[in-house]
């Protein structure tokens, strides 16, 4: 125990990081966040130890079985020997080539399910942040305070513009988890409406949508992807995005 205050990111989120860490899926920034939290949270530290022990027990209980003789023979057979009879060989190869091309096109095109999943996760994170104690890690209206706070906690530097004169006051920032990686979140207030701006490296296509009564806007600047969520009026939301883009 270090005696410092616990990391304000909810323990429920830390449980996801613990599982990802045991699977070797965390980047350096997320690992640092998790390590800091575990030092001050006996409950999460105990969960990590329990899951690690369970994994060791399961690996120790697994038996290694030899593959059946027929399966080994199939694996050892040259590919040409298992192709259909000669009269079907050219059509089969043409079909395979077409399937490969189609698969490559699918990989190149945005997947609507993936976009919907990201939108759902961002809205969920926005709603969770509105609960007491979840919105801010660094509460400050001074961008000279908020911007340096992210240094050493993530592997990129998010811009922190100040739009108070235009009616969008900076409230502060926090770290969050989106798609398994640690991202920066900047929080602004317009009257009684809060805006969460999620930032991480990437180049998402500019878009405007809504989900569960919340508006979503995404755009790209300087190699970073910006994803804003709010219940703000659509016209004011678009003005906020225009202010941000103009700040560049």
Same domain, yes or no, for 92 and 139?
Answer: no
Cα–Cα distance for residue pair 198/211, rounded to 1 Å? 16
- pLDDT surpasses 80 at 9: no
- pLDDT surpasses 60 at 146: yes
Same domain, yes or no, for 49 and 128?
Answer: no
pLDDT in tens, 153-204: 999 999 999 999 999 999 999 999 998 899 999 999 999 999 999 999 999 8
Sheet with 207-211, side-by-side order of all strands: 138-139, 169-178, 181-190, 193-201, 224-230, 214-221, 207-211
Residue 2 counted as domain residue: no
Residue 29 counted as domain residue: yes
Same domain, yes or no, for 122 and 157?
Answer: yes
CB 26 within 8 A of CB 20: yes
Only one residue has tokens 């979140």, namely: 185
Residue 36 counted as domain residue: yes
Which pTM does this prediction carry?
Answer: 0.56
Domain boundary among 61, 78, 100: 61
The pLDDT-based confidence of 138 (bands split at 50, 70, 90) is very high
Same domain, yes or no, for 120 and 170?
Answer: yes
Tokens (6 digits) for 38: 């575990």
Residue 141 counted as domain residue: yes
**Residue-range definition of the domain harbouring residue 30:** 11-61
Tokens (6 digits) for 165: 């004169």
Same domain, yes or no, for 32 and 103?
Answer: no
pLDDT in tens, 71-90: 666 666 655 444 444 443 43
pLDDT for position 74: 63
Same domain, yes or no, for 47 and 122?
Answer: no
Domain count, the chain: 3
For range 58-70, the mean pLDDT? 65
Residue 170 counted as domain residue: yes
- pLDDT surpasses 50 at 151: yes
pLDDT for position 195: 95
42-51, 190-199, 238-247: segment of lowest average pLDDT: 42-51
| Residue 153 vs residues 6, 13, 204: alpha-carbon distances, Å | 15, 17, 23
Same domain, yes or no, for 208 and 116?
Answer: yes
């Amino acid at each position: 125990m270090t005696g410092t205050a616990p990391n304000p990111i909810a323990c429920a989120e830390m449980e996801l990081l613990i599982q990802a860490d045991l699977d070797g899926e965390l980047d350096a920034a997320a690992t640092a966040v998790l390590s800091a939290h575990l030092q001050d949270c006996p409950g999460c530290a105990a969960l990590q130890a329990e899951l690690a022990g369970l994994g060791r027990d399961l690996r120790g209980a697994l038996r290694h079985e030899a593959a059946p003789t027929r399966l080994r023979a199939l694996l050892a057979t040259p590919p040409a020997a298992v192709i259909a009879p000669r009269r079907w060989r050219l059509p089969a190869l043409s079909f395979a080539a077409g399937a490969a091309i189609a698969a490559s096109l699918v990989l190149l095109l945005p997947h609507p399910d993936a976009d919907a999943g990201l939108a759902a996760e961002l809205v969920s994170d926005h709603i969770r942040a509105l609960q007491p104690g979840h919105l801010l890690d660094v509460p400050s209206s001074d961008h000279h305070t908020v911007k340096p706070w992210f240094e050493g906690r993530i592997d990129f530097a998010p811009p922190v513009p100040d739009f108070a004169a235009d009616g969008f006051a900076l409230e502060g920032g926090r770290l969050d988890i989106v798609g398994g990686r640690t991202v920066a979140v900047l929080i602004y207030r317009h009257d009684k409406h809060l805006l969460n701006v999620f930032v991480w490296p990437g180049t998402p296509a500019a878009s405007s949508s809504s989900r569960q009564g919340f508006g979503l806007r995404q755009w790209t600047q300087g190699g970073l992807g910006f994803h804003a969520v709010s219940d703000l009026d659509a016209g004011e939301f678009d003005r906020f995005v225009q202010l941000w883009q103009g700040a560049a």
